[in-house]
Amino acid sequence: MSNYLPNATLEAEPAGSKQRSVFLADLASTHLHQGELDQGCELGTEALEAAVQSGYATGLQRVRELRGMMTRWSSAPVVKQFTEQLAQVGA
């Protein structure tokens, strides 16, 4: 049942909504805390895109915090890719 809530909430958020970036980053954080690296990085990337699109500094800060949470997986390709995406937008 809990799997339906994030999807329903995401569908309710407009694509350019400032809060969407924060929500996605928080959801990514939850996945990372559970050791779900791929899902955490995927949602982190979506959060980054939403923050850049909306120009929301708080969203970008939340995304940067995600990278800090990934330190123990620094050598994982998905983390390297996420780090590159952050660097491309200057985050």
Distances (CA, A) of 14 to 17, 31, 62: 5, 22, 19
Tally of domains within the chain: 1
In a domain, 2, yes or no: no
In a domain, 1, yes or no: no
In a domain, 71, yes or no: yes
In a domain, 47, yes or no: yes
pLDDT digits (tens, 9 = 90+) for 42-68: 999 999 999 999 989 999 999 999 999
Tell if the pTM clears 0.85, that is, is over it.
Answer: no
What's the average model confidence in pLDDT over 13-41?
A: 88
Which contiguous run of DSSP H or E holds residue 26?
helix 18-33
In a domain, 52, yes or no: yes
State the number of CA atoms in the 13 A half-sphere of 65 facing the CB.
17
Which contiguous run of DSSP H or E holds residue 88?
helix 77-88
For residue 49, the Cα-to-chain-centroid distance in whole angstroms is 9
What's the average model confidence in pLDDT over 67-78?
A: 94
Q: How far apart are CA 72 and CA 42, in angstroms?
A: 17
In a domain, 11, yes or no: yes
